[in-house]
Chain A
Amino acid sequence: MARGWTRNPAPEVDKVDELAVDFVPPKKRKIPGWVLLVINLSVFFLIWQFVATKEWINPLFFPQPTEIWSALREGMSDGTLPEAIRWSMECFAIGMGAAALVGIPVGLLMGSNDRVYTLLSPYVWAMASLPRVAITPLLILIFGFERQAELVLIFLSAVFPIIINCMAGPKTVDPSLLRAGRVFGANKLALQVKIVFPFTLPFIVSGLNQGLTRGLVGMVIAEIFGGNQGLGFVIDRAGQTFNAPLLYAALLILIVLSLAMVQTLRWLEIKVAPWRTQSSQA
C-alpha cells in the first residue's frame, strides 16, 4: 500500500509564491538516459569481471566478460557468427514474413465476419494455447533436419498471436465511430477503409510485436533441436563443448537482435496510435 503523498518537490527558486502558471525552472543539469545506461552496464560488467577473476563463481559457467568479448571477436572474424546470424535472420524473416502475410488478413477476416470466426476459432485458440515447442518433434518427423522444419516452427509460433491481436481490432471498433461514419455518408467500403482499418492498425502492430518475440523462441528452439546452422545451433554446440564464452557471445547477439526488433515495433506502435499511450496523461 502506498502511504503518504507522491513526492513533488517545488522548484528551487527564491519565491515560489510568485511563480507564473507556466513557469520554466532554470535548467538543472540532468544526466541523459543513455549515459546512465552506459554507466549502469559498465558497473555491471566490472563487478562481473571482478567476481569472475576472483573465481568466486565457477568460470566454467560464468566466464569473464573479457573472455566473452574475445570469443565474440574471434567468432566474428572467423565467420562462424556472421554466418549463424545470416542464417537465423534469413529464416526468421521468411517465417515471420509468411506469418504476417497469413495472420493479418485471417485475423481481420475473423474479427469482422462471424461465420469465419465460428469456423476457425477452435483451431486458432487450440493452436494459440498449445506450447509450440511441443510440436517440434512432429515437425522434425515431417521435414527432417531440414530448413523447412525451422521455417514452419517460426511461422506457427508467430502466426497465432498475430491472428488473435488482429481479430480484436474489428471486434472492438467503437460503435459510435461507425455511427458517425454512417451519418456523414460513408458506405460499407468507406467504413472499412476510413474507420475500421485505422482503428485496427495499432492492434496489427502489437500483434506483430507479440508474433516477433514468439517467432524468435521458435527459431532458437528449431535450431537447438533440429538444425545444424544458426545462432541456436552455435549456442547448442558451444554448450556441448564447454565453450562458455562463445555461448555467452551468441546469447548477447540474440539479445541485441531481439531488442532492436522489439523496440522498433514498440516505437511504431506509439507512432501509429499516439492517443493510446498519451490519452491517459491528458
Chain B
Amino acid sequence: MFDLTPTSDNSPALPNAADHGGVSPELSGVPVISVKGLTVGYRKQRDDSTMVALQNVDLDISRGEFIAIVGPSGCGKTTLINAVAGLVEPWRGSVEVDGKTVKGPGPDRAMVFQDYALMPWRTVESNVRFGLEFQKGRATKAELAEKVRHYIALVGLEGFEKSFPYELSGGMRQRVGIARALVSEPEILLADEPFGAVDAMTREAMQGELESIIAKTGQTVILITHSIDEAISLADRLVVISSRPGRIKEIIDVNLPRPRAALDLKTLPEYARLREYVWDLLKDEALGAKELKV
C-alpha cells in the first residue's frame, strides 16, 4: 500500500552496509547474524504457567548494518536481544553469529543496558576495563590501558577516568556503558534501549554521537527502542515487532543519507512519511494489545 521500501526488491541492505566503510560487498552479502525460526518463552515460577515472548522470528543481519527493533512494550524485543547475546536459551530455532550457533555470551557480542549496569564501586576507567577483563588474549597491560584510554576519549569522558558512576549524570553514565561495550572491539553491538533513561535533549545529542562512533568503529548494531524517531534517525533497517507473542510484523528500509545527525532530518518529507507509516503500524499493535487485555 505504501511505496516506502524501494530496496525491498534488491538484495537486502547492501547499499547501507557500504555506508560504514571498509566492508567488502562479498562479505556483507553473508549475514553476520542469522536468526532462524526463533521461539523463546518463559516459565513463570509463581503458577508454573508459560508465556511465549517471541514466536518464529526469522531475521538476517548483514555485516555493518544498523538495525533498530521497535515494538509495543512487552513484545519480546529484549528477549530477542538476549537471545542474540546468548543470555537466554531458545525453545525452538536458533541464532547464528558468523555461521556458528549461539550457545552463550561471547566476546564477539557486547551490550549496552538501559539502566547502564555500571559497577558502582568501580571508577569510570575500571568500569570500561570490565569489558576486557574476561577476554582471553595476549595483550599487555599497557596495551589494555591504551585501549581503555582510547575508548574513554571516544565517548568524550576524558578527565572523568577516576570518577565514580554516582558522580556522573545519566548521559555520562551511558557513555561509560558504551565505552565498556566497545572497548573489546566486538563485532556486534547490542543496545537495549540505551537512551531510555536519559532526558530528551541529552538523548538526541547522544544519538548523533552513537551514529558517528559507529561510523568509526564499524560494528553491526542491534538497537532496541520504543522511540520511532530514534529508530529512524539511527537505523539502516527497522524491524517492527507485533505485540505478544512477538513476531516480525514488517521490516522497513530507511534510505536516508548519513551522517544523519548533521541533517535537519525531521524536516525531510521522507522522514515524516516513514514516521507516520511506522506509527500507524505500532498504533495498531498498541491498540490490539489493549483490546486483548480488556
Interface residues of A (CB under 8 A from B): 174, 176-177, 179-180, 182-187, 190, 194-195, 198-199, 201, 272-275, 278-279, 282
Contacts and interface: CB of A to CB of B under 8 A. Distances in A.
Given A177-B117, A177-B119, A198-B121, A182 B166 contact: no
A66 B87 CA distance: 70
B110 A274 contact: no
Given A183-B85, A184-B131, A275 B113 contact: no
B115 interface: yes
A183 B87 contact: yes
A186 to B, nearest CB: 6
B179 to A, nearest CB: 13
Most buried by B among A177, A184, A272, A274: A184
Contact of B111 (A183, A186, A198): A183
B237 interface: no
Nearest to B85: A183
B164 A182 contact: no
Contact of B166 (A190, A198, A199, A278): A278
B29 interface: no
Contact of A274 (B133, B134, B164): B164
14 contacts: A177-B119, A180-B111, A183-B85, A183-B87, A184-B105, A184-B130, A185-B106, A185-B107, A194-B130, A198-B119, A198-B121, A275-B164, A278-B167, A279-B120
Nearest to A185: B134
B119 A183 contact: no
A186 B134 contact: yes
B4 to A, nearest CB: 34
Contact of B165 (A182, A186, A187, A275): A275
A46 to B, nearest CB: 44
A180 B180 CA distance: 10
Contact of B105 (A183, A201, A275): A183
A199 B131 CA distance: 18
Interface in B121-137: 121, 130-131, 133-135
Contacts of A183: 85, 87, 105, 109-111, 190
B111 A282 contact: no
Most buried by B among A185, A201, A274: A185
Contacts of A182: 87, 105
Contacts of B133: 184-186, 194
Interface of B is mostly: loop
Given A184-B133, A282-B166, A176 B121 contact: no
Contact of B135 (A185, A195, A201): A185
Nearest to B136: A185
A275 B87 contact: no
Nearest to B164: A275
Nearest to A280: B166
Contacts of B119: 177, 194-195, 198
Contacts of B85: 183
Contacts of A179: 87, 113, 117
A282 B169 CA distance: 8
Contacts of B111: 180, 183
Contacts of A176: 113, 115, 117
Given A182-B87, A185-B105, A194-B119, 11 more contacts: A177-B119, A180-B113, A184-B105, A184-B110, A184-B130, A184-B131, A185-B134, A185-B135, A273-B121, A274-B166, A279-B166
Contacts of B106: 185
A180 B117 contact: yes
A282 B133 CA distance: 29
A85 to B, nearest CB: 37
Nearest to A282: B166
Interface in B176-190: 180, 184, 190
A184 B113 CA distance: 12
Nearest to B107: A185
A275 B134 contact: no
B178 to A, nearest CB: 13
B248 to A, nearest CB: 24
B207 to A, nearest CB: 22
Contact of B121 (A180, A187, A275, A282): A275
Contacts of B134: 184-187, 190
A184 B112 CA distance: 11
B117 A282 contact: no
